[in-house]
Amino acid sequence: MHYEAGVGHIGGNLSALDAMLYLHHYVMSAEDQFVLSKGHAAGALYVTLWSRGILQESDLCSFHDEGTLLSGHPPPGRLEGIPVATGSLGHGLPMACGMALARKLKSQPGQIFCLCSDGEWQEGSNWEALIFARHHNLSNLVVLVDVNGLQGFGSTQAVASMKDLGKHLEAFGLRTRELDGHVEASLEQLNTRSVEDRWCYLLQTVKGKGISFMENRLEWHYLPLDEVSYRQALAELNS
């Protein structure tokens, strides 16, 4: 999809894809909703919806094309499984909190799962959302953070140190747990949480996971694939 469209952001898609697939296939029920706060990983979300039969392969071929439903960031209200538009970082969690509160006030079942990026926690709106979530005791909200350690202009440590993110989140009343975001046995812990608590999962991931020349490389936050790199990536995946 990214190669044919000639667009970047594939590194952050590959860091989030495993967890997104596991969440949709083995954790979420039909009553739950998912918010992709790191909207630049829309490609991974579209592949996940395809794996569930919501999108067809022909739909994936229209990624980033003229008049497509599969835009560079998730389009709101046009596809099943995408309730809100995201991409301007720091908006997904506040909207997820509003959705969770609405369900609580209406005594509706189901949970809201929100996947953020780690660099996104430099946005003040996320911390305001945590104050809101704690005040309203939104135990039907589950926060996940894709901790791949890289963002647009460098590592998260170099741009604005977030080394103690888990401790900061716990101070807002969240129960935090670190998982390997690429290993199924670790992701299984998503199914063992107590539903009375507010949870945040720090997913330890690798930007560009699975492609040797992409892994932990800042440039693959932006770069599109040329034909040579595309063929090399396919060869590595097929092996």
Higher pLDDT, 157 or 47: 47
Segment 161-206, tens digit of pLDDT: 777 899 999 999 999 999 999 999 999 999 998 888 899 999 999 9
Q: What is the pLDDT of residue 87?
A: 78
Q: Break the chain into its structural domains and give their ranges.
A: 2-238
User: Among 19-23, 83-87, 153-157, 173-177, whose mean pLDDT is lowest?
Assistant: 153-157
User: Among 27-41, 90-104, 145-159, whose mean pLDDT is lowest?
Assistant: 145-159
**In the chain, % of residues over pLDDT 90:** 87
**Alpha helix (H) ranges present in the chain?**
2-5, 10-22, 42-51, 57-60, 92-105, 124-135, 156-159, 165-171, 184-187, 227-238
User: Among 32-36, 163-167, 170-174, 208-212, whose mean pLDDT is lowest?
Assistant: 163-167
User: Among 30-39, 66-75, 150-159, whose mean pLDDT is lowest?
Assistant: 150-159
The alpha carbon of 171 is separated from its chain's Cα centroid by a whole number of angstroms, namely 23
CATH number belonging to the domain at 2-238, selected among 3.40.1030.10, 2.40.37.10, 3.40.50.970, 3.90.1150.10: 3.40.50.970
Enter the tokens of residue 23.
């969440």
